[in-house]
Amino acid sequence: MDMNQLFYHHQMALMERAAARRAGLRTANFDLRRYYAKRIEEYRARRGLETYFPDTIAAR
């Protein structure tokens, strides 16, 4: 998956979670937004780029 796809899926996960919270629905047990943030960080690390989500690294 390239960086654009990762960012797209991360953004979609953020929007879906926000919509569920507004509607008063429970969110999934699996944190999809954190999963994609971690994948983005791994992608960037492999290419020697700076971190994009500093809190994701601390959560590992």
pLDDT in tens, 12-42: 999 998 998 889 988 777 889 999 999 999 9
Residue 51 pLDDT class (50, 70, 90 cuts): confident
Structural contact between residues 40 and 53, judged by C-beta atoms closer than 8 angstroms? yes
DSSP for 20-31, written as a single string: HHHTTPPPPSS-
Domain count, the chain: 1
Q: What is the pLDDT of residue 56?
A: 60
State which residues form the domain around 13.
3-58
Structural contact between residues 37 and 53, judged by C-beta atoms closer than 8 angstroms? yes
DSSP for 1-60, written as a single string: --HHHHHHHHHHHHHHHHHHHHTTPPPPSS-HHHHHHHHHHHHHHHTTPPPS-HHHHHT-
- The model carries a pTM of 0.75
